[in-house]
Amino acid sequence: MDKTLHATLTQWRRHLHENPELSLHEAKTAAFVAEKLTALGIPFQTGIGGHGVVATLARGSSNRSVGLRADMDALPIVEETGLAHASRTPGVMHACGHDGHTVSLLGAAALLAADPHWSGTVQLVFQPAEEGGGGARAMIEDGLFARFPMERVFAYHNWPGLAAGTVAVHDAAVMAAGARLEFAITGHSGHAALPHMARDPMLAGAHLLIALQSLVSRNTDPLDSAVVSVCTMEGGMAANQIPERAILRGTMRTLKETTRDMIEAGMHRIADGIAATFDVRIETTIRRGTGVTLNHKAEADLAAEAADAAGIAVRRDLLPAMTGEDFCWFLRERPGAFVWIGNGPGENGRELHNARYDFNDEILPAASGFLASVAKRALGG
């Protein structure tokens, strides 16, 4: 990538960082993408599954096709970077680097448009609502793969802690399946000095919190991976009253669908047992989110070869992460691969979803270069 394009992409990325939009509200981001695609002379359609944009770049006689995807939404986090290009929208920031993902796909579009050495069709998918908003499923339900044919699909996520510009490729699982948990405990309120006349939901909740951890420590294969985290516990208004109700909320992550099924069944069993033990009622609600982000082996190999062909360092020895990713639904529709591209050191708040995070503009050439290279390789040269 030449310095002029890199500088342009950096300017675009910082503009998006200054103007973040939450899931389901990416209208201005989509308009920005459309404006840049128009300037590049690449036809596109908007309003796919909400604020989604899909551009189609085709040339030559080949009937081969491939999809490249980038996410566009930001997070409800108050930015603390102090940067000149910090968010101008109170309480909203690009704390996961989707601004960089969007711009690097625009960069790949520019590289592919200027490169005569390929034939076929590249679908450039700009996805809204990745952060729990169901954007991938919405685009699929809106006919993404029928309206914009693609034989394979690829995407990436920047990865703090991995050397800047390095591409990490997993053979199978990349990120975990997730679910949100809620346990609503109803007892009988009473005076704190007369506990025998009440049924304490707080005590039941404390036992439930501890018992849930046995699902990982004693029910999950030690060679498997799972996380159960209870992150909030709400109940009571007065220090001298046993409340009537308490609510526990948290999350679960697994790298296998079968493990998720086992843990879900275990949660219901434990909650029912705690309810009987403490004579309270527990309503257990489990809301499944993303599935396991699972690479297809042939496409993972292709991604690694494409990175190498583009002169980008490749690692294939990293373990999966317990984070979730909406791209999992694309990989259930078409073979493909989801890779990580190093964002550089993750210290001092450079971690994902941190208020001091910022996408590293120095990796834009590697990110755009990888996406362009993997598209050309998927098309056959």
Residue with tokens 């971690």: 351
Decide: 128 and 73 in contact? Cβ < 8 Å: yes
**Per-residue pLDDT reduced to its tens digit, 200-228:** 999 999 999 999 999 999 999 999 999 99
Determine the Cα–Cα distance for residues 40 and 12; give it in Å rounded to an integer.
14
Give pLDDT tens digits for 311-340: 999 999 999 999 999 999 999 999 999 999
- The residue type found at 254 is T
CA distance linking residue 108 with residue 374, whole number of Å: 10
Dump the DSSP string for 236-254.
-S-TTEE-SEEEEEEEEEE
pTM of the entire predicted model: 0.93
E strand map for the chain: 44-48, 52-59, 65-71, 120-127, 152-160, 167-168, 173-175, 177-186, 190-191, 226-235, 241-242, 245-254, 281-288, 293-294, 314-315, 336-344
Residue whose tokens read 């000095």: 193
Is-contact 60 67, C-beta < 8 A?
no
Report, as an integer, the average pLDDT of 54-80. 97
User: Would you call 337 helix, strand, or coil by DSSP?
Assistant: strand
Tell me what pLDDT residue 311 has. 97
Provide mean pLDDT across the span 193-206.
98
Q: Binning pLDDT at 50, 70 and 90, where does residue 56 land?
A: very high
pLDDT of 134 over the 80 cut: yes
Q: How far apart are CA 252 and CA 230, in angstroms?
A: 9
Residue 13 and residue 119: Cα distance in Å, rounded?
Answer: 29
First to last CA, the chain: 19
Average pLDDT, the chain: 97
| Mean pLDDT across 21-36 | 98
Instruction: Give which of 156, 90, 92 is closest to 127, Cα–Cα.
Output: 156
Instruction: Encode pLDDT of 247-276 as tens digits.
Output: 999 999 999 999 999 999 999 999 999 999
Given a contact cutoff of 8 angstroms between Cβ atoms, the answer to whether 169 and 293 are in contact is no
Q: Which CATH class is domain 3-175+291-379?
A: alpha beta
pLDDT band at 381 (very low <50, low <70, confident <90, very high): low
Whether residue 154 is predicted with pLDDT greater than 60 in this model: the reply is yes
Report domain extents, the chain: 3-175+291-379, 177-288
- Alpha-carbon distance of 278 to 275, in angstroms, equals 6
C-alpha span between 186 and 241 (Å, rounded): 14
Q: Please check whether residue 340 is in contact with residue 162, taking contact to mean a CB–CB distance below 8 angstroms.
A: yes
CATH architecture of 177-288: 2-Layer Sandwich (3.30)
* pLDDT at residue 77 greater than cutoff 60: yes
How open is the CA angle 326-153-13, to the nearest 5 degrees? Answer: 65
pLDDT band at 347 (very low <50, low <70, confident <90, very high): confident
The rounded distance, in Å, linking the Cα atoms of 169 and 379 is 20
Burial profile 252-281: b = 16 or more Cβ within 10 angstroms, e = fewer: bbbbbeebbebbbebbeebbeebbeebebe
Contact (CB, 8 A) for 154 and 338: yes
**pLDDT over threshold 80, residue 159:** yes
Greatest distance between any 2 Cα atoms in the chain: 83
Residue 358 pLDDT greater than 90, yes or no? yes
CB 373 within 8 A of CB 314: no
pLDDT of residue 221: 95
